A and B are shown apart, each in its own frame.
Chain A
């Protein structure tokens, strides 16, 4: 009896889930083989990573701090995909949000209870402004947002380097390449983890509810899945595209705001730590589902934290990045393979 491979239109959820699990396991196995070839003992390293990450509240707090920007940037990318827009510029919007929030913190006087909400708003607006030009170019001239948002990342990165080492350089002279410590900060609620974490969770729930339980969310779902169908049903595709892309930018801006106001406390070059790009991975792992961003961001945070542990063992940061890349690679393959089944005959 011959066997054939058959493609099915969509994978059953259990198979899709199993494929995800397999992808992560395979990525770790591949990484383990590479590490073994480099002369490390992968099992011992794995045990150490697990113990350091989950064995102490310090490890968990580190993960909790890393997960905050990942939730925001992952959500930003996922939101863009709802309308079929690829926001590769969460990195730039992160910087723009951090920049705008820092500006408010440094130059607007007032009590923290007033200034922190202002910084929140400024962060969102900063991110939205950073995606405004790509948005309008896409909406009115059909310019591919993939390129425009990506290129603006470099502008934002260099802009923040410049202000942090130039006009906004710490006047006290104690820091060489950052602004002064911000006079306002997001309070902590568990060790070093600040209130950005619950806020991120709430934002995720709000966005998820917006898509699931509003008329607007329904229209965006249709328009993002098939613009032709939106046109057929008389839905304003362009308006939805603009609103959703600006929302995506604003959410990425919030990532920058919380990073500078809750974690780093100073604006400096390289503050984004690639969180904007990692957000793309988070969104892919979450299959563009807002709720799915939460576990995906948590997984990514654990991987990043493991990377920090591995670096203390003399493994380079490139190896760690390679492991995250492997997970994405296997996930993409797994998602595709989940849609095949083997049949007899």
Chain B
């Protein structure tokens, strides 16, 4: 009952016998939502022993398709064939019973429970009335049998994101899933953790199982998958052998046009050169609401016309860093110098007046008032100055005019400026916030995960925004989890770990492995030539 077949060595590839039926076959799947064709005429074959990547922009229909395969949605047309037999899943429970399981982007674990408890939660094979020790023993056995190392007695809340993901995967695999669907699994992982995940996935398919790997990161699709299916506008564009693909060819398939995912560090001759220090943090400490130290003696300099990238796994103090350098949070000690003046006790309005724009990490909850109109939200930085206000008044017509101007610059089509801003898609909200902030960012722009949740085309546009500001001589602080983005854009990269800077490297001399090590908490060996 517990032990699935013993693991084969990861190196040996599973090759299905000729004539073997695909483990999953989707035929002519269609799904319509009001006014939207989410999927139409989609075919997908997944063979045993295969890692099959599903690639597409936001809204290309990847999630809908996988929600249909796992029984969350019912298709409007087409059929699902598992091991050669047509099936219809009324719920995810039926899908997992047929061997199809999914690990979602947002984990569905009970944080206060131990790993063993989470594994056994809602599982028909969980023995009734057992002790924690028995559950932990069973979990340890399963973990060994499936070759996924977890600590059965640990509480989920104490685990790193990578470890939580492993628990999530183990949970699906213990239900005897033979098809594992992963939705952007590396979004939350360090490079090292991602490699570990890839090893586990290869190991899993080597036993004759299959993985469907949803992603919009081209490099990892090339690295991990055997075949790749590209969706665009809800339809299948192509299924290719990954070995025949390049990043450029995949990007072209995905967006339907050529996209330059290239180095944007090169400057045009007209661009402002890297200039004087605009903002400096000197040994800054800060605490979160619960009194935990979240910034621990952090020093950084932001220079005019330079993009400083901040690498690091989310939750290592990046959010508090953005709050401290925009005046939203007071540092408990240390100094913040802005043009040489002490801003340690300045408020958010002072920073904004100085010319600090801020694209916040959580745009909907801190950068916008979701229930208020697009107009109200567009003018939050300029409501207090002409033409919107001459001191006391507020000119609604001028506000709508400004909102229209910002929406046009952001290429966001707005049918009605009185509509609540939450009605806009996430990507459009992000572009609106970015354009709004760029208007006031005359000296500094703080951009926290600006590309999060955007597709390749929109990311490219966002990166161009940052370059545009850099070339105007604005100091840009660019926080991201995507190393590639950081390397393409930043002039220098600082790596954060547990509220500290592990090191600052010039991008030209940076190597990914060193940055990866620093992201995991290894301090950069002191380099006498430059401090940070």
Contacts and interface: CB of A to CB of B under 8 A. Distances in A.
B427 interface: no
Contacts, number: 82
Interface stretch (B164-172, B379-387, B487-495): B379-387
Interface in B334-369: 347-352, 358, 360, 365-369
Residue with the highest number of chain B CB atoms closer than 10 Å, among A213, A219, A232, A235: A232
Contact of B358 (A6, A213, A225, A232): A232
B429 to A, nearest CB: 12
A340 to B, nearest CB: 12
A226 B370 contact: yes
A214 B367 contact: no
Interface in A287-318: none
Interface in A178-221: 212-219, 221
Contact of A10 (B76, B395, B420): B420
B376 to A, nearest CB: 6
B392 interface: yes
Contact of A233 (B380, B393, B396, B420): B380
B365 A228 contact: yes
A232 B348 contact: yes
Interface in B448-466: none
A345 B38 CA distance: 13
Nearest to A6: B34
B419 A10 contact: yes
A37 to B, nearest CB: 41
B369 A215 contact: no
A176 interface: no
Given A6-B34, A343-B34, A215 B393 contact: yes
B351 A229 contact: no
A221 B422 CA distance: 16
B171 to A, nearest CB: 30
Nearest to A343: B34
Say which size band chain A's interface belongs to: 20 to 34
Given A216-B392, A221-B376, A232 B367 contact: yes
Interface in B387-412: 389, 391-396
A222 B369 contact: yes
Contacts of B365: 226, 228
Interface string B181-211: 0000000000000000000000000000000
A234 B419 contact: no
A9 B420 contact: yes
B160 interface: no
B193 to A, nearest CB: 31
A216 B422 CA distance: 23
Given A10-B423, A215-B391, A229-B366, A234 B383 contact: no
B423 A215 contact: no
B327 interface: yes
Given A234-B327, A235-B349, A222 B422 contact: no
B369 A229 contact: yes
A231 interface: yes
Interface in B309-326: 326
A221 B396 CA distance: 13
Which of B352, B379, B380 has the most chain A CB atoms inside 10 A of its CB? B380
A289 to B, nearest CB: 14
Contacts of A232: 326, 328, 348, 358, 360, 366-367, 380
Interface string B129-157: 00000000000000000000000000000
Interface string A222-253: 10011011011111000000000000000000
B389 A215 contact: yes
B347 A234 contact: yes
Interface string A1-43: 0000010011000000000000000000000000000000000
A16 to B, nearest CB: 13
B369 A231 contact: no
Nearest to B370: A226
A233 B381 contact: yes
B121 interface: no
A-B pairs, 7 with minimum CB distance: A234-B349, A234-B348, A225-B369, A226-B369, A228-B366, A229-B369, A343-B34
Interface of B: 32, 34, 76, 326-328, 347-352, 358, 360, 365-372, 376, 379-381, 383-384, 389, 391-396, 419-420, 422-423
18 contacts: A9-B422, A212-B394, A215-B383, A215-B384, A215-B392, A216-B392, A218-B376, A222-B372, A225-B370, A225-B371, A226-B370, A228-B365, A231-B328, A232-B358, A234-B327, A343-B34, A345-B32, A345-B34
Given A213-B396, A218-B379, A232-B328, 16 more contacts: A6-B34, A9-B420, A212-B396, A214-B393, A215-B392, A215-B393, A221-B369, A222-B376, A222-B380, A225-B371, A228-B366, A231-B348, A232-B367, A233-B348, A234-B351, A345-B76
